[in-house]
Amino acid sequence: EAGVAQSPRYKIIEKRQSVAFWCNPISGHATLYWYQQILGQGPKLLIQFQNNGVVDDSQLPKDRFSAERLKGVDSTLKIQPAKLEDSAVYLCASNPQGGYEQFFGPGTRLTVL
Amino acid sequence: GDSVTQMEGPVTLSEEACLTINCTYTATGYPSLFWYVQYPGEGLQLLLKATKADDKGSNKGFEATYRKETTSFHLEKGSVQVSDSAVYFCALTSNTGNQFYFGTGTSLTVIP
């Protein structure tokens, strides 16, 4: 079974630029999550999708972050414009409906200069 | 709200030493508890889980017991190896939904 795929693995941008991350969850997994993991901290949930609907985006900085999952499969997370404090690893995870375990992708390491 | 508190690191051990990483939680209802491991440059991988009180999760020589009376889920291993060097995260999910709450992580380095 293929795992959660994310791209790119690494991205370096300058502040005020835009960036987008892509995630393809495990086939059949209804729920998809985006997390932000700042160095030395645990993952912080940014947004949770159930199929193509948003379940929780209470911690998403909506003035600069956006995410979509139009067909209920893969998802993109965008930052526009980026700030220095957005430097982090962005993790995507998925789980099947009703399941407890989350399956994580390898993450995208973003460096904002 | 729900939360997880885990032992701060970093932890450095010699090979074959015993490991305990403490984790306590606050939750309403009956959460499921997890330990995830993150090797350098990789995403999080599930190490073990327990879904009800007194359950013991185990994998790769690691164990953790869901203790409702002390609201704890401490990670233990009797003899660590260099390959166990990683960051370990305690996490919970409530029984009302599938949102996860992660601890801050504990970095473990095992030296030969």
Scan residues 60-89 of A and list those with Cβ closer than 8 Å to B.
none
In chain A, what residues touch B98 (CB-CB under 8 Å)?
31, 95, 99-100, 102
pLDDT in tens, B13-57: 999 999 999 999 998 888 999 999 999 878 899 999 999 999 999
Contact status of A25 with chain B (Cβ, < 8 Å):
no
Under 8 Å between Cβ of B47 and B62:
yes
Q: Are B44 and A91 in contact (CB < 8 Å)?
A: yes
Contact status of A43 with chain B (Cβ, < 8 Å):
yes
Residue B98's pLDDT is what? Answer: 62
Residue B1's pLDDT is what? Answer: 80
Under 8 Å between Cβ of B19 and B76:
yes
How many percent of chain A have pLDDT more than 70? 98
- Distance from C-alpha of B11 to C-alpha of B86, rounded to nearest angstrom: 10
Spell A36-45 as b/e; 16+ CB within 10 A means b.
bbeeeebbeb
Under 8 Å between Cβ of A113 and A19:
no
Q: Tell me, rounded to whole angstroms, the distance of Cα B7 from its chain centroid.
A: 10
Considering only CB atoms, A105 lies closest to which of B43, B98, B103, namely B43
pLDDT in tens, A69-113: 988 899 999 999 999 999 999 999 998 876 778 899 999 999 999
Q: Which amino acid belongs to residue A71?
A: K
pLDDT in tens, A3-46: 999 999 999 999 999 999 999 999 999 999 999 999 888 899 99
pLDDT in tens, B71-89: 999 999 999 999 999 999 9
In chain A, what residues touch B41 (CB-CB under 8 Å)?
106
Mean confidence (pLDDT) of chain A: 92
Distance from CA of A100 to the nearest CA of B (A): 6
Q: Percentage helix, strand, coil, to 5, in chain A?
A: 5, 50, 50
